[in-house]
Amino acid sequence: MKPHLPILALLPVLLQAPGPAAAAPAGTVTSHSQGLHGYIGFGHEKLPPGGGYTAGMGFYAAVWPLVDQPLAGFQIGLPSSWIQPDNSDNRNVPLAPEGTLARTWKERGPTWSSVFQTVEGGLGYWARTHFRYGPPKFSMNGTPQCYDYEVASPGWSFFYSDKALPDHRLGIAQLSHRLLIPPDALPFQGHPNGEFLGYSWMALPFTDPDPGDPPTGDQSWTCFLSAANFSGPIAYYIPETWSKIGKLFHEPFLHGRGLDARPGVMGGGAMEINTVPRFDAPDAHGTVYSKLPKLQWPVDADGRAFLVQDVTYYSKSALHDAFKSWRDGGPACSGRFDERGAFKPALTTRTTRYDQAGRKITGVERAFDTRIFEGNVWGLQWFTNRVAANGVFPQYFRQAGEERIAVAAAEVPEETGLIAQEFKHAATGAPYTSPAVGAWASPGPKRGPFTAELADGSVVTYSWYRFVDQPSFQQYNWSAEKKARLQAFVEKLHASWPIGRDYMAPPTRGRRVALDPALLVTPPVGLETGYVPIVTRQAAR
């Protein structure tokens, strides 16, 4: 199944080829942003009909340094997935209201279902990351309102601004009382080189459905991580995050159609190659050559890069049902995903199509191609372009007509000057800052502030909030009874679910990557359960 594309992949400018330009002298090097675009992805066999495998999805993805140095204007997602509400019963009614950003993308009509709401994010490098340190990071991301805005942490958007989201657009509730979730995403320990991070999204009923205005379902899409030094749920999207769009735009048709209420549609996954810088230069005959940054994957002795394994889809019997029973006074739920509610489909893949500024790229498949390896593992098989223990994406291309053809460095004429060109390194961004008023201040934190120094060169400031007092909940006029019930249940969860338990099953092969240990915190005395560490600032050291 083809993955659904996040916002940056939809920007029309990325798909437009430039017009003809006047011939430049040999060796005139120009810098551009549209160096490479494509989706290196996998799909899978159809899920069993009637199995209900729409309540969760997850896998283990490899973590490695795709580039040697943090680069400016560079964005590539490592293997990630997309989840959308199932609106397949709607054939012609627009889900994107007039006035939303997605509604301007006419090619997504007539329903705009693919750009209505998503849970995405994952591992990657993003152009607007503020603090780069070499390896990738992990970030959640959701698009509740037709890509008008995105929600990636308990306080911030997806790197678009150093200012926190407005109170009424906060959408993620921090659940873990042992892990910091900084706005610039989660870094890793040391120098990962092919170890695996497990992550899953599970629709869990922290609260009951609400028939009010707007009607809201009970699905809290909850992110679970499985790393060498941390396992468990870290945060969830509050159901109202998805349901509010119908009320805001006065469109009753949208009630009950969001991720709070609908089954999740979860296709395959992909590396989204989005924004890659390039240099262009002509040779003495006017033929244009281009250069990309060095992109690398760790490979074994047989040239194999193992990228994704243990892809699993879940029904409500995997966790939802036991979780709800526990919440309502039944037997304790361990949080472990029940394999009886899991399905591991056979994966599929196909050769990727790449383009450079809209021009088709050819010849990459001679260096490597996608593969499904033994054990239902998706990855890449290298044939050439191997340097030490890495497989390297072709760096140089020659324009021929409307195509760009991959060539070896030795085939690039010296007079172009491309070989010596170096790409600009990323600069440190501005601090992320939260307001000192509104939802952040009332009811406000119980204790803090505290600080932690992260591996990405930043310092995060955080305070301990009572779970239901954290900023994301303050926009809702919930009853005292509803808040008390949720608070009591989270206290029970904190007391019962340790960070060393396997909630996801361990990876079939390889080792798990370790998160930056500075992200791990211990609640202060007296706040051991029912309180969460909310990041209020992140700045360079």
pTM assigned to the model = 0.94
Q: What is the pLDDT of residues 137-185, one digit of tens each?
A: 999 999 999 999 999 999 999 998 999 999 999 999 999 999 999 999 9
Confidence of residue 533 (pLDDT cuts 50, 70, 90): very high
Q: What is the pLDDT of residues 237-294, one digit of tens each?
A: 999 999 999 999 999 999 999 999 999 998 889 999 989 999 999 999 999 999 999 9
Q: Tell me: pLDDT of 7 over 80.
A: no
Amino acid code (one letter) for 42: F
Q: With CA atoms as reference, report the closest residue to 85 among 254, 323, 337, 270.
A: 254
Structure tokens at 57: 């999805």
Q: What is the pLDDT of residues 315-352, one digit of tens each?
A: 999 999 999 999 999 999 999 999 999 999 999 999 99
Q: 207 CB contacts (<8 Å, ≥6 apart)? A: 218, 220, 239, 482, 486
Q: With CA atoms as reference, report the closest residue to 471 among 447, 495, 439, 441.
A: 439
The CA-CA-CA angle for residues 536, 538, 541, to 5°, reads 140
Amino acid code (one letter) for 194: G
Q: Mean pLDDT of all residues in the chain?
A: 94
| CA distance linking residue 222 with residue 224, whole number of Å | 6
Q: What is the pLDDT of residue 38?
A: 96
Give the single-character DSSP code of 184.
Answer: T
CB atoms < 10 A from the CB of 328, how many? 11
Give the single-character DSSP code of 498.
Answer: -
Residue 288: strand pairing partners: 282
Cα of first residue to Cα of last residue in the chain, in angstroms, is: 44
User: What's the chain's length in residues?
Assistant: 541
Residue 78 in contact with residue 122, Cβ under 8 Å? yes
Structure tokens at 230: 């941390």
Three-state SS for 541? Answer: coil
Structure tokens at 343: 């399905």
Residue 513 in contact with residue 195, Cβ under 8 Å? yes
Three-state SS for 392? Answer: strand
Mean pLDDT of 405-422: 97
